[in-house]
Amino acid sequence: MSIPRSSGIQLHLSSLPGGRLGAEARAFVDWLHAAGQSWWQTLPLGPPDEYRSPYKSASAFAAWNGFLEDPEAPVSADEEDGFRARHGFWVTDWEAFAGDGAVADQVRFEREWSALRAYAAERGVRMIGDVPIYVAPDGADHRAHPELFREGVVSGAPPDAYSDKGQFWANPVYDWPALQRRGYRWWTERFRRTFDLFDLARIDHFRGFVSYWAVPEDAPDASHGRWARGPGRAVFDAAARDLRSDLEHRARESEAGGPPVTPGGARTGASAGNATSDGTVETPVGLPLIAEDLGVITPAVERLRDGLGLPGMVVLQFAFDPDDPDGPHRPENHREHQVLYTGTHDNDTLRGWWESIPDDRRAETDAAIDAAGVRQDEPWWSLVALAQSSRASLCMLQVQDLLGLGSEYRMNVPGEQGGSWGYRLEPGQLTAQDAARLKALTVGAGR
């Protein structure tokens, strides 16, 4: 998969003024166009949980009706029937879970979202989505397909430098042999839905496809878990076989406007594929995905990422650790086939980060800014300019960082329930002057 040199902005629909589709969403597209940005990245679009998190949605397929501009818009029986025909794999399960009116809401979302995507594409802006690896416990997918999930164990992360007890996520974990026996159909349909909605998508916790941390469901914490083997590339190969013609058609259509995402293209390894130990060659799958390869990443995870031809991620806030002089996040170690984020939805804002880091880390950051010759009046704009100068083909910025907002405006604090996911722009807060300033940096960086 190849992504042209470009940049974009992360902002969830819930963070728009009003928190929904419609005029404010179109206004944000207009601002992105004026700012020279090619991408808008959202968080998952499913119904959020009671803490407003979109990462434990009741459905891996359905969109949240809370995003609708016109939730009372009429829907005909023919429209519902057509939607059922196109999305028969999952919509009946969602209707059984959500009740009467669930299908009509999905029709309304399809109308409004399709109109926004067309509006954005006309202005050279493409959409990036997010695919959480796990589903919510007792959600629509878990209820409808219990045979696809293991019993007695749940998801988590092992102990590390940040937590001696690990992270207890408590999502159902997949029974990968059961999925294999069914040709990975559930995952193929999930990817199909994702690519119906987005031009490109970040796949969360990519390392879980190599091995994942399985925790006994009655354990007191995640330290009692153990590693279990994932499916490797088989799930991606199955999706690529079934979806290739659709993806090639969309790639041709994308050439009409905006930055195309095309199968094959730039690779981290050799362009013809990566040789395996038995002499065979792994070729890119051509799926428009970004591998979220953050954290402790093993050589096996890197081999899977590179064998699939997927770009990985680097985060500017992780770059300037004096104890990690060879870290992949440092600007001098960035590669073209990567996506650079100033910070993800789980990170502090740039201003909050800058004001909290120790002096030695601030000194390293200042040295990198000066070496790149991108010093701006405010530290956060200097960091935005440094990100834009990266070798990585795609640079993604957070809205909060362009506005110089502090830690109280961050999107999420991992591990804390409540108090997150509530950030929202004020009407008119992004100005024409902000757009002009970002466009100058973007054009100057060849994006």
CA max distance for the chain: 64
Q: Which of 79, 346, 355, 366 is catalytic?
A: 346
> Looking at this protein, which amino acid is placed at residue 438?
L
Active site residue 292: yes
Classify each residue of 326-341 as buried b or exposed e, where b means 16 or more C-beta atoms within 10 Å of its C-beta: eebbbbeebbbbbbbb
3-class DSSP assignment, residue 394: strand
Distances 410 to 12, 383, 385, 444, 447 between C-alpha atoms, Å: 12, 17, 20, 28, 26
Cβ–Cβ < 8 Å for 401, 9 = no
Is residue 296 within 8 Å of 160, Cβ to Cβ?
A: yes
- Measured N-to-C along each axis, helices 88-98 and 77-86 cross at an angle, to the nearest 10 degrees, of 120
- What's the rounded Cα separation, in Å, for the pair 361 and 66? 42
Q: How many other CB atoms sit within 10 Å of the CB of residue 359? A: 7
221 an active-site residue?
A: no
What is the Cα–Cα distance from 429 to 17, expressed in whole angstroms?
A: 9
Closest among 165, 177, 169, 279 to 223, alpha carbons compared: 165
Annotated catalytic residue within 95, 189, 292, 306: 292
- Is 434 annotated in the active site? no
CA angle 49, 406, 27 (to 5 degrees): 65
Which residue has 């990567």 as its token pair? 338
* Active-site annotation holder among 204, 217, 321, 434: 204
Please report the beta strands in 301-409, taking only residues with DSSP state E, as ranges in sequence order: 312-315, 338-341, 394-398
Who's near 304: CB < 8 A, 6+ residues apart? 206, 209, 210, 232, 233
The catalytic site residues sit at: 204, 292, 346
